[in-house]
Structure 1
């Protein structure tokens, strides 16, 4: 992502937060509106400013039009067929869903998840405002008809004032950006009860109030999923043990849980209201945080991809600086892949990330296909890094290759190519899984740098061409046998062990090699040239095999 694109991403994040703030202000205006008509007009006017949609219809009345949706009276509504539109959705107003009607919106294409979240929030705000207006109208009617209920009316007005107080307090938290801690404090102050905010898995993220348990209890995964299932099925907070539980789940995806610790069951209607509104504000906050995290991850991935493929230096340095990363230190491109056996890329990525952090190797890394690329910003004990990755994977086999040092942004593609080549050599030469630096490849490195690969090919043909031709025709392994024999400096026992063959089989193959090539393997000069030829063949094989996916 370029510098301007990063600036646009930041502007989008700020725009989303600004829109949510405006939505909260709109909800307050609705609450203070003089009648239902004005509330509905405010809702209809707001739709185009929240999403690329238009209002198809706004049908007031209990359960109006809900038979047109696929989800009945569910809290998120459902799709609606609208003439001339590619996408339509009906959002129920009020609780239970549809009590005050349905807001139907249409668009030429499906809005983004953020836009759908804002539309749903608008429907919730409209329903809440209609509910408040409906309650207020009932109170006024009762006051006009029965003078003896004045005292009850004052109590109802007090409840309304309490609702507005709850709304205003939590709206202020959302606007000020106090985060999870601020939301927990606000709900605690409004209810007088301890408040806990947990992530989806039950890990405590914020606490407000006395008597915080140490250690904080955590349910088993099965029990947690059962709790989330029951909470999703309910339209209101549910009681679990000594707590009231509400979910923060924009678009139905549970991001967190907020609960009132109420073992005595003393929470009243307004406490439940504060909890529900706190869950709405928490959903907005967690959605914002997740969006920012995903944006940063995309920026990191794009930066690494462009460095490896070659990019303009000034732009790369600017984007790295925006991430708080110093790209002007010397780096090496490190490539990690699973060895024998299969390793999931997610597990490999996490193991490399943790090992790189623990070994101080670097923090800029991405997954590419079945491999993980790490831009290491300091010299490390590469074998120690590999062993740390292996421990993180529970003992799985891992290969690690390191390119030459990058002194400038323009050096990254070359270092990446070198690390890929080192991995290819490990495979073609059948080396054991290990950490290999391109700097340490010796003659292989010279062969890679040869300007005339045709000359290298002719050298290979001169010394082992007949064996390669024999292997291709007979599907035999004479060149592979010779390669292991030369690597073990003519040691029969070690060669047979590495090939996993009987010594008599090895002797037969060596005899065939002598017969076909006409070479004396005991001649030191022949031995040296055969070593060079087999390594040249391994190098060309690695170069021609291309990058691993």
Structure 2
């Protein structure tokens, strides 16, 4: 694009301003030039074009009507070409342009319109050449910044060297990766994350007091993983600014992909560490070295925290491990954070009093709630392991505490394994295969009978134990007669070999149901 002021600076065109139009009109961008003698060129003139005319329409319409038609097309102005028959611009045209607030230029009879077209074409070529040179230069600078490890902040610095825009880089989890001339609060970061989550992603987001911001998606490994944010609406950005932002977003994808690759490697190593801890044996000897790689001292007291979401919600969710890792980084606590199928586990050194560990876990849960509104995170803790060799039972304990919390919709969000019932303390010390075999042997016959006969023996047993063996209360909750309850319990004894009237047999049945609920 060019401006009328730029045309006026070309002395060879012999242009003169007759009507400057409203303030700033001569400096406004002009799309192109359009030569026409039609009485009504509004159907053919594009918005922002400069209409060039010799006034041959004057015998068909008035100057006022012609100007009105040009205004309808939202043209940038009119250039009147003098000729022998009209050595002066008609005063009616001058008056009409002044009345309409439309710029009017006059060109000498000695200069043809083709000369204007050539000048405009040259200016457009120079503009495109300059834009291309600028893009290549900026691309080199962006590539250099990334290769030197400048990160997202370095990339923004390169862009701001060309365009003084308020910028930020935000990922799909609502985390601020870099800022330059802009500051975003928690609500604004969340608004950006919501915009990225849409399909297709939003092109603008409302940031409240900061107004609307343009969003330029940054893709990494096959998806939109972040966005380059400019705290200005799209309509206020010039074409060269939008092109620069789009180019920078493409380069940012390289930086985001690099960060994701590093995180994926760290997560895989962390998951392998959990496998080493759980497998025991020879692999357990590798645990201390792996802990040191994450900055965790294997020789000191170690704590294990298992985090998930409450029952009925996603056990884990994409990005939860990253949020937990960020939390411990802000707290200045080195930690190994690994995702499992049902939870996310963090292993961290802990030399403070053990009573302070739940306080840290509660702050962690609060931070997760803010990042994932609407979900209820819970955290299970173990006792402290004196060193790495004692991590396996602590890992099992924290996961068991977390598993219990996941099945509750209310109550504390953080609990230690020692706060669970004594029977759970004992169950947590046994291997899962033994526990599952015990539960299956006792409950299997009941389930087979219920499936075959359409019965409710397992439901009856659960209700009986939940009501502490009280016949009347159990019959009431099941809506059956006491005799019916007695018959069902007799059948349970026959199938399981356990008499619900004896304490030791009742304990076996209670443990079998508890183990079943632990899956």
TM superposition score normalised by structure 1: 0.45
Query: Rg bigger for which structure?
Result: 2
TM superposition score normalised by structure 2: 0.47
